[in-house]
Amino acid sequence: MHKVGFFRSIQLKFIIIFILLLLITIQVISTYFVRGLETELRENFEESVEASVGILEVNLEQAFSTERSEDDDEPTLETEVQDIVRVNDTADINTIQVVDMQSRIIASSDTSSSSNIGKKTTGNFINNVLRFGDENTGNIYREGDRIYRRVVPIYDDEDTQVGALYIEASLEGVYNQLNDINRVFLQGSILAITVSAFLGILVARTITKPIQEMRRQAQTMAREDFSQKVNVYGKDEIGQLAESFNDLNAKLKHSRALTEEERRKLSSVLSNMSDGVIATDRNGFITLLNDAAGILIGYEPEEAQGEFLLDALQLDENSVDISDLPESGSMIIDFSSDDEIYLIRAKFSTISDEDNDITGFITVLSDVTEQEKIERDRREFVSNVSHELRTPLTTMRSYIEALTEGAWEDKEIAPKFLDVTQKETDRMIRMVNDLLQLSRMDNKSESLQSEQTDFISFLHQVIDRFEMNASEKIELKRDLPNGKYEVWIDKDKMIQVLDNIISNAIKYSPEGGTIHFKASKQRNQLLVTVSDQGTGIPYDKVDKIFERFYRADKARSRKIGGTGLGLAITREFIEAHHGNIWAKSKEGKGTTILFTLPLVNKKRRGK
């Protein structure tokens, strides 16, 4: 286990939190203080300017109200006003201008050669006061300086407006004071941060030291060493955590002892089992394989660790999805060589956690070579063929003998005898054709001509054909989805599959019965069901209907011309398409045939 660096430690986080809290506090205080101070300084500045403006207003009112004679020695209005402006020029005020009602500047604090005295002002800021008689105040920026300006109307002693007073004052002094104060705050903040960082280190160490000890203890426990304990430094939350950590250590030590005991028991059971057991993770990679399984599939238990289950069982990953194996229940895996038959039955199940999420798979293997040999011998259908052919041949012989003995002359009986003979001949021909087809499939000489097909559209076409020919007393009801479900199928073989299933459903459905067709997607497979309302099949005989020559109702099957091979051929075709087929039935409530087909572009799990 690597050490946690200082820049990733909880100690640094505590220090940063201390500093951030202090910064936020200082920022809030300084913000409110500076704003209040700025307001106060602005108000003092404006009061100072307003006092100067008041004095100017009084002096200017007297100057404008004074009556002047034509004596040359008496000063003119412009001269007197200019003297007033010059006398009242203060440090706070940069510019003073007096404007008459014609917007002409008659006096200015600027007496340089570039002065605007005698010129008209065009600024709306002053002209609005001359026009409406209201005071006007505002701020402007000029060459980077903040300027406070104010215009007030000037009245004579008869309250008649005779002009306007315009002043400009620099605000830079106010803001320079604010900058000095902010500089002091910044220096104080740096000092406070330094102190808080030092204090944060001291406080953080009192918290992080027991946590570091618990981390080291956790690393020790990860190495399955439960002999040590964590020191408890107090009764606070961290001390209680340390006590809980020690309790956890004791319980883990006890649980590990119990787990080890159970592991030894399980190991003993697995070692002495005659059946092979393989455990895998959720992705299908082997985590456990007992000796019996190693013998069955030819793997050393140690070498099998990490192998992919499908590879170990020699299953084609392109045709088998490991996530679908538990649904199949079991399968026969052929390990046969050219010289010897060797078959293994694999039963699959899943391992789930408390949330029912799949965490792995269990495969139980057993050698079924002998059982399969017996099953294959049973499939030697010579006896079945002889039995199935005996009945129609006997019937045909009886009718032909009757015809030979003179029944052919009877115009009523002879056609009936010939009709029965022809039907029995056709049934034997169908039986022989079915047997030949099964034989080709058993010998792997029957190849599929597969093509990508929208199965729902394909199924509609097959049902439409049966609807045209079916009795009006049988209803074909469809419950099929609207989307496309693409599969790889041999259309001719699949038509034969559907014909066998639907024909059986129609044959065994009562008058007025309904046949239901359904299809749905289950993971990466298409599930198709065909249900009828016939007499049904006993529970213990449902699985046998796919065996060759098996008939649930032998008398009725022969009466309607069944050979007992249709569903056997159907199963062979479905399995050739990498699907499964099975049946569900209840006596008196009908039978449902279900089969699955893999959908196109099915996702596979690889190593």
pLDDT digits (tens, 9 = 90+) for 508-526: 888 888 899 999 998 889 9
Which of residues 318 and 571 earns the better pLDDT score?
571
Domain that holds residue 577: 447-607
Q: Are residues 157 and 280 in the same domain?
A: no
The answer to whether residues 13 and 142 touch, using CB atoms and an 8 Å cutoff, is no
Determine the residue type at 374. I
Q: Are residues 353 and 453 in the same domain?
A: no
Q: Are residues 460 and 325 in the same domain?
A: no
Q: Are residues 74 and 165 in the same domain?
A: yes
Domain boundary among 148, 176, 204: 176
Query: What share of the chain in percent tops pLDDT 90?
Result: 8
Exposed (0-12), middle (13-18) or buried (19+): which is 428, by Cβ within 10 Å? middle
CATH of the domain at 459: 3.30.565.10
Residues 6+ apart with CB under 8 A from 421: 395, 396, 399, 400
**Average model confidence (pLDDT) across the chain:** 78
Determine the residue type at 224. E
Asked if residue 556 has pLDDT above 60, the reply is no
pLDDT score, position 29: 83
Query: Which of 127-131, 259-263, 529-533, 599-603 is most confident?
Result: 529-533
Instruction: Enumerate long-range contacts of 568-573, CB under 8 Å, 24 or more apart.
Output: 568/438, 569/434, 569/437, 569/438, 569/441, 569/496, 569/497, 569/500, 570/496, 570/497, 570/500, 570/501, 570/546, 571/546, 572/438, 572/441, 573/490, 573/493, 573/494, 573/496, 573/497
pLDDT tens, residue by residue, 31-58 = 888 788 878 888 887 788 888 888 887 8
pLDDT score, position 519: 93
pLDDT score, position 458: 93
Q: Are residues 168 and 277 in the same domain?
A: no
pLDDT score, position 446: 66
Residue 497: inside a domain, yes or no?
Answer: yes
Whole-angstrom distance, CA of residue 318 vs CA of residue 226: 48
Whole-angstrom distance, CA of residue 607 vs CA of residue 591: 41
Which of residues 433 and 595 earns the better pLDDT score?
595
Residue 607: inside a domain, yes or no?
Answer: yes
| 566-576 and 413-442 helices, crossing angle to 10° | 30
CA-nearest of 579, 547, 359 to 450 is 579
Asked if residue 68 has pLDDT above 70, the reply is no
Residue 542 DSSP code: G
pLDDT score, position 601: 72
Residue 438: inside a domain, yes or no?
Answer: no
Residue 250: inside a domain, yes or no?
Answer: no
Asked if residue 225 has pLDDT above 70, the reply is yes
Whole-angstrom distance, CA of residue 143 vs CA of residue 449: 90
Asked if residue 604 has pLDDT above 60, the reply is no
pLDDT tens, residue by residue, 403-415 = 777 777 777 777 8
The answer to whether residues 536 and 591 touch, using CB atoms and an 8 Å cutoff, is yes
139 Ramachandran zone, left/alpha/beta (phi>0; psi -120 to 50): beta
Asked if residue 529 has pLDDT above 90, the reply is yes
Residue 203: inside a domain, yes or no?
Answer: no
Domain boundary among 376, 404, 428: 376
Secondary structure element (H or E) that encloses residue 482, with its range: none
Residues 6+ apart with CB under 8 A from 65: 156, 157, 158
Asked if residue 232 has pLDDT above 90, the reply is no
Asked if residue 552 has pLDDT above 90, the reply is no
Instruction: Identify the band that residue 73 occupies on the pLDDT scale cut at 50, 70 and 90.
Output: low
Asked if residue 459 has pLDDT above 80, the reply is yes
Whole-angstrom distance, CA of residue 348 vs CA of residue 322: 10
Number of domains in the chain: 3
pLDDT score, position 470: 66
Whole-angstrom distance, CA of residue 420 vs CA of residue 393: 11
pLDDT tens, residue by residue, 417-430 = 787 777 777 777 76
pLDDT score, position 72: 55
Residues 6+ apart with CB under 8 A from 294: 276, 300, 301, 304
C-alpha to C-alpha distances, 107 to 104, 164, 290, 406, 518, nearest whole angstrom? 9, 11, 113, 156, 104
Q: Are residues 353 and 484 in the same domain?
A: no
Hey, which bits of 523-587 come out as E strands?
A: 525-531, 581-586
**DSSP β-bridge partners for residue 98:** 107, 165
The answer to whether residues 77 and 117 touch, using CB atoms and an 8 Å cutoff, is no
CA-nearest of 571, 518, 576, 562 to 544 is 571
- Paired sense of beta strands 475-479 and 514-522, if any: parallel
Q: Are residues 461 and 605 in the same domain?
A: yes
The pair of structure tokens assigned to 596 is 């699955």
Q: Are residues 340 and 487 in the same domain?
A: no
Task: Give ∠ CA 383-388-390 in degrees, rounded to 5.
Answer: 95
Secondary structure tally for the chain: helices H, strands E: 15, 17
Residue 401: inside a domain, yes or no?
Answer: no
406 Ramachandran zone, left/alpha/beta (phi>0; psi -120 to 50): left
pLDDT tens, residue by residue, 242-295 = 788 788 888 888 888 888 888 788 777 777 777 888 888 888 888 888 888 888
The answer to whether residues 343 and 319 touch, using CB atoms and an 8 Å cutoff, is no
Residue 152: inside a domain, yes or no?
Answer: yes
Query: Quick one: CA dihedral 37, 42, 45, 50, positive or negative?
Result: negative
Domain boundary among 348, 376, 404: 376
Asked if residue 307 has pLDDT above 70, the reply is yes
Determine the average pLDDT of the residues in 205-229.
Answer: 75
The pair of structure tokens assigned to 161 is 């407006």
Q: Are residues 370 and 451 in the same domain?
A: no
Q: What is the dihedral of CA 24, 29, 35, 38, to 10 degrees?
A: -130
Asked if residue 528 has pLDDT above 90, the reply is yes
pLDDT score, position 226: 74
C-alpha to C-alpha distances, 484 to 204, 457, 493, 512, 534, nearest whole angstrom? 64, 8, 21, 32, 31
Determine the average pLDDT of the residues in 85-101.
Answer: 75
Tell me the DSSP string of 34-76: HHHHHHHHHHHHHHHHHHHHHHHHHHHHHHHH----S-TTSPP
Determine the average pLDDT of the residues in 311-326.
Answer: 75
Q: Are residues 365 and 490 in the same domain?
A: no
Residue 426: inside a domain, yes or no?
Answer: no
pTM reported for the whole predicted model:
0.37
Asked if residue 349 has pLDDT above 80, the reply is yes
CATH of the domain at 111: 3.30.450.20
